Amino acid sequence: MDVFADRPGAGNPLVVIPDTDGLDASRMQAIARWTRRPETTFLFPPTVEGASYRVRMFSPEREVPFAGHPSIGTAHAVLELGLAAPVDGLLWQQGETGVLPLAVRGEGPGRTIAVRVPRARVVEVADPGDARIIPILAGAPVGPLPPALMDGGRRWWVAELASEAALRGLQPDWDAVAALAGSTGSMGLCAFARADAGQGHDLAVRALVGAGPRFEDAASGAANATLAAWLRHNDAVPGGRLEYVASQGREVGYDARLHLRIDHDGDVWSGGQVRDIVRGTLDWD
């Protein structure tokens, strides 16, 4: 399926496997390595009272305790397969980080699903001229907020650029991205900019992963959620609203839309639409 997508091919790919009989961790890892998607998730009956289902998430390299787009896509599969139904508009996902709620809004192709992400905290605020970050930005003009390291289950640096054009034209220094990730135990850098008027989104975002294989993420719910927490921390949410839309992935051939919401308790919900692409059977003896 495509997650954070209003049409096929726009979002972040995900594989969801609902029939997990006989699959141990090594087999799940082997399947995830074979599918070569950013994540592959596996569904199990819940073991905690009140949970709608239990999920395990694997990247091609390792098991992942939490990630945004696999949570959204897995909940979509649960609904499509009739494995659980929302109660008071919520599904409850049991995973490695505990039980998290997912809000379901609407029906059909326009339905959106959003996960309440683990609350992020500020680990470090850097100087705008920090020597670890400036090489990544390759001379692009920076925005008013200083760079910061946020921890929301996964650690991400966030850095604002002065314009959407500067962000989209950025040619990052990947050696510097990897060095930043390695020296700070983070995924890498989530660069963002305020959107130009009339674009249909409020922020443009690029998530540069330097931990492990170096790549640009097509659509990262976790990176956007830590960014939303940083914006709220600075009273800098676009337009002063509690909800906004982020555009991500154009630079790598996608066009995802992520819907971010900050509730009155200060928790961040990261979500969007999902599109089914392939349904079938996997023969893995």
pLDDT value, residue 178: 98
Whether residues 85 and 216 share a domain: the answer is no
Whether residues 180 and 58 share a domain: the answer is no
Cα separation, 197 vs 164, whole angstroms: 10
Q: Is 260 part of any domain?
A: yes
Whether residues 76 and 131 share a domain: the answer is no
pLDDT band per the 50, 70, 90 thresholds, residue 90: very high
CB neighbour burial string for 16-40, b if at least 16 within 10 angstroms, e if fewer: bbeebeebeeeebbebbeebebbbb
Whether residues 159 and 240 share a domain: the answer is yes
pLDDT band per the 50, 70, 90 thresholds, residue 285: confident
Q: Is 276 part of any domain?
A: no
Kind and range of the H or E run holding 123: strand 121-125
Cα separation, 226 vs 205, whole angstroms: 12
Q: How far apart, in Å, do the first and last CA atoms of the chain sit?
A: 24
Q: State the burial class of residue 152 (Cβ atoms within 10 Å of its Cβ: 0-12, 13-18, 19+).
A: buried
Identify whether 80 is a catalytic site residue. no
Pick the closest to residue 53 from 98, 84, 88, 87 (CA basis): 84
Domain boundary among 71, 96, 117: 117
Q: Which residue has the tokens 């309440």?
A: 116
pLDDT value, residue 212: 86
pLDDT value, residue 134: 95
Residue 240 has pLDDT above 90, yes or no: no
91-116 mean pLDDT: 94
Residue 111 has pLDDT above 90, yes or no: yes
pLDDT value, residue 49: 96
**Phi, psi (rounded to 5 degrees) for 230:** -65, -40
Residue 132 has pLDDT above 90, yes or no: yes
Pick the closest to residue 268 from 122, 115, 153 (CA basis): 115
Beta-carbon count within 10 A of 3 CB = 30
Number of domains forming the structure of the chain: 2
Cα separation, 53 vs 153, whole angstroms: 20
Q: Is 175 part of any domain?
A: yes
Beta-carbon count within 10 A of 106 CB = 10
Beta-carbon count within 10 A of 173 CB = 16
Query: Which pLDDT tens digit goes with each residue over 52-82?
Result: 999 999 999 999 988 889 999 999 999 999 9
Whether residues 84 and 144 share a domain: the answer is no
Q: Is 280 part of any domain?
A: no
Give the β-pairing of 112-116 and 148-151: unpaired
Domain that holds residue 44: 2-117
Whether residues 107 and 159 share a domain: the answer is no
Domain boundary among 71, 100, 117: 117
Domain boundary among 75, 93, 117: 117
pLDDT value, residue 235: 95
Question: Among 39, 160, 164, 216, which one carries the catalytic annotation?
Answer: 39
Cα separation, 137 vs 214, whole angstroms: 16
Query: Which pLDDT tens digit goes with each residue over 169-189?
Result: 999 999 999 999 999 999 999
Taking the model in full, what pTM does it have?
0.92
Query: Which pLDDT tens digit goes with each residue over 2-25?
Result: 999 999 999 999 999 999 999 999
Residue 109 has pLDDT above 90, yes or no: no
215-239 mean pLDDT: 95
Contact 100, 71 (CB under 8 A): yes
Residue 118 has pLDDT above 90, yes or no: no
